[in-house]
Chain A
Amino acid sequence: MVEAMKRSVFWSWFWMFIGTLYFILPLTSTFLFSLRAKKDVLSFLAYERIFSDINFWRTFTFSLIVGFFTILVSILLVVPTAYWIRLRLPKLRGMIEFLTMLPFVIPAIVLVFGLIRVFSGAPFFLTNTYAGTNVLLVAAYVVLALPYMFRSVDAGLGAIDVRSLTEAAQSLGASWPTILFKVIFPNLRVAILGGAFLTLATVIGEFTIATFLVGIKAFGPYMSLIGQNKTYEASSLTIISFLLTWSFMGLIQLFNRGKSDSALAGAH
């Protein structure tokens, strides 16, 4: 029995080691490569070049702003929808869940061509102006972020007794906006943040839609361009974007831990 347990522990560590290597090795290699911009010396020259490139900041800021609006629209669209489905239309939940998964199935290229085809002509003419294209970009990203945002919010709603909380608030005289903004939204804070960070991570690195709608203005196409022309800078950009994504994930974990701590305290 003890022998079997020891063996099982050994194999657990073994597979964990292999898994870690699988992730760490390419990352370490990329990182080391990014430090070799100066001949025979390890330096952060590639990083310095990236951070001093005005296009890096311009595209990064642009994608951040697009990410902010994508999150805002996603929240305003998804939270009331998911809430209403939980409250009044639970039978539709499966279908809505399926619809929100479609961005995983439909390639981004199909989505962007569809959008251009529909919204470039009458009566929209959205692609004729910069503002219009930016609106279209946000709209496309809202669709792309649907699986992350809907699943996060829906899981958050599943963790609270939506119906009882709504009815309690109603019986105390609260209107629908009061219920949404004072009862539902505050209790979904962690779920919304989780969805928001995943959305931001997706928007920051997205290439296909951004290329066809706004070109080099966005961070995704900028990274691709650097990758084609500047070898060391491309590696440093990979590490930067990796760190950015992992910081978002870390923040999600941080907020989730806060929440599970309170839940544990509540169980006692």
Chain B
Amino acid sequence: MSYLSISNVSKIFGGVVAVEDFNLEVEKGEFISFLGPSGCGKTTTLRMIAGFELPTSGEVVLDSENITYKSPNERNVGMVFQSYALFPNMTVAQNIGFGLQVRKTPADEIQTTVKEMLGLIHLEKHAEKYPYQLSGGQQQRVALARALAINPRVLLLDEPLSALDAKIRVELRQEIRRIQQKMGITTIYVTHDQEEALSLSNRIVVMSQGRMEQVGTPSEIYNHPTTEFVASFVGQLNLLPVSEVDLKNGVCKLNGQLVRFDHSEPRQISDKPRLAIRPEEFQFGQAEGRNLIQGHVEVVMFLGAVVRLRVRIGEVLVSVDLFNERNMTLPRVGDEAVVNFPPHACWIM
């Protein structure tokens, strides 16, 4: 049996299904992210693991112990909140030592752990400061140290970086991963930021409308999405209407132009079949053995590392991402464009 097991868990709030039949097995030391848009049920699921919400059905088993109906203060689960939730009346050291003090740990042991935690988050000099004297990033580090000080069985993080600015977010994200790997602690991370989920996790659970859409490694989620939602939520995706789809031979027609696609994986297609392809799979110009389509450049956006184009092919607009090169000549609006892409990079939905 796995370390953390969530079986058939559902949660209904006044007739509204927040989480539906959630099943997940987590191994010890794994870093799992719950990824999805607002209201998809990811935080509710996390709160059920923490004990702040009771499941309507199903069970949560942690380290062979059924904790479904255990109160939050008896679970030994660490939690980090989006709003930091540091106790304003306590210093940094007192905040970190609070959980140990509650457990009636001897004073010298608390002092040692607090010191160790302060070292881990590189805030040794701020031990006697109050939360309001720290920046947002520092406060969230303290919150992380406070959750880790009690040596929890699982660490739960509820959008911990959402309130921080972009630069601090990236720094702290690396910090979280470093600390998680160093301590080998099983971690569940809730986020709506795909970049965070992709860069941090061993596995990602993509959720939508209370349901699990797909569970997989970051690479599986990005490169082999199993549903249209996952494909469009994680990364950018072009969904181009096609006709005359031949699933057996992997060919279809896009605006009258013949296109070959990946037909190695069996897929269900809708009544209105569409060709799915990510913008970064395109290249400009002709190339042998690749699909070629012709159109006109309608929008050019220079984004630094990437140049994003919108190319009109008949009735549809296609997003094309080109990696920027120093000597690159940017296409102009109205230019005729021939773009190519490999057959294995696109699939039918």
Query: How far does the Cβ of B315 sit from chain A's closest Cβ, in whole Å?
Result: 50
Q: How far is the CA of A55 from the CA of B132 in the complex (A)?
A: 49
Cβ 8 A contact of B132, one of A161, A178, A263: A263
Q: How far is the CA of A261 from the CA of B72 in the complex (A)?
A: 35
Contact A266 B133 (CB under 8 A): yes
Query: How far does the Cβ of B55 sit from chain A's closest Cβ, in whole Å?
Result: 17
Query: How far does the Cβ of B53 sit from chain A's closest Cβ, in whole Å?
Result: 11
> Residues of A contacting B147 with CB < 8 Å?
171-172
Q: How far is the CA of A265 from the CA of B132 in the complex (A)?
A: 7
Contact A167 B52 (CB under 8 A): yes
Interface residue count for A (Cβ, 8 Å)? 23
Contact B88 A171 (CB under 8 A): no
Of the listed residues A172, A178, A186, the one surrounded by the most CB atoms of chain B closer than 10 A to its CB is: A172
Instruction: List which A170-200 residues lie within 8 A (CB) of chain B.
Output: 170-175, 178, 182-183, 186-187, 189
Query: How far does the Cβ of B341 sit from chain A's closest Cβ, in whole Å?
Result: 47
Q: Does B180 contact A (CB under 8 A)?
A: no
> Residues of B contacting A183 with CB < 8 Å?
87, 89
Q: How far is the CA of A160 from the CA of B87 in the complex (A)?
A: 10
Contact A167 B132 (CB under 8 A): no
Mask, B34-62, CB within 8 Å of A = 1, is 00000000000000001110000000000
CB within 8 Å for A173 and B76 given contacts A165-B87, A167-B85? yes
> Residues of B contacting A173 with CB < 8 Å?
73-74, 76, 99, 102-103, 150
Contact A171 B87 (CB under 8 A): no
> Residues of A contacting B146 with CB < 8 Å?
168, 172
Q: How far is the CA of A164 from the CA of B130 in the complex (A)?
A: 18
> Residues of A contacting B50 with CB < 8 Å?
167, 171
Contact A262 B132 (CB under 8 A): yes
Q: How far is the CA of A196 from the CA of B121 in the complex (A)?
A: 41
Contact B79 A167 (CB under 8 A): yes
> Residues of B contacting A189 with CB < 8 Å?
89
A-B contact pairs, 22 of them (CB 8 A): A161-B85, A167-B50, A167-B72, A167-B79, A167-B85, A168-B85, A168-B87, A169-B87, A171-B147, A171-B156, A172-B78, A172-B98, A172-B150, A173-B76, A186-B89, A187-B89, A189-B89, A262-B130, A263-B132, A265-B132, A265-B133, A266-B132
Q: Does B81 contact A (CB under 8 A)?
A: yes
Q: Does B276 contact A (CB under 8 A)?
A: no
Q: How far is the CA of A171 from the CA of B80 in the complex (A)?
A: 9
New A-B contacts (16) at CB < 8 Å, excluding given A161-B85, A168-B85, A183-B89? A164-B83, A167-B50, A167-B81, A168-B146, A170-B71, A170-B73, A171-B78, A171-B79, A172-B78, A172-B99, A172-B102, A172-B147, A173-B73, A173-B150, A178-B102, A265-B133
Mask, B115-149, CB within 8 Å of A = 1, is 00000000000000011110000000001001100
B interface with A by C-beta (< 8 Å) = 50-52, 71-79, 81, 83, 85-89, 98-99, 102-103, 130-133, 143, 146-147, 150, 156
Cβ 8 A contact of A169, one of B71, B78, B98: B98
> Residues of A contacting B77 with CB < 8 Å?
171
> Residues of B contacting A265 with CB < 8 Å?
132-133
Which chain B residue has the least Cβ–Cβ distance from A172?
Answer: B99
Contact A174 B102 (CB under 8 A): yes
Which chain A residue has the least Cβ–Cβ distance from B149?
Answer: A172
> Residues of B contacting A187 with CB < 8 Å?
87-89
> Residues of A contacting B79 with CB < 8 Å?
167-168, 171
Top 9 nearest A-B pairs (CB, nearest first) are A266-B132, A172-B99, A164-B85, A168-B85, A186-B89, A171-B79, A170-B72, A173-B102, A170-B73
Of the listed residues B89, B132, B143, B147, the one surrounded by the most CB atoms of chain A closer than 10 A to its CB is: B89
Of the listed residues A170, A174, A178, A183, the one surrounded by the most CB atoms of chain B closer than 10 A to its CB is: A170
Mask, A244-268, CB within 8 Å of B = 1, is 0000000000000000001101100
Q: How far is the CA of A173 from the CA of B51 in the complex (A)?
A: 12
Q: How far is the CA of A174 from the CA of B76 in the complex (A)?
A: 11
Q: How far is the CA of A173 from the CA of B74 in the complex (A)?
A: 6
Cβ 8 A contact of B85, one of A165, A175, A182: A165
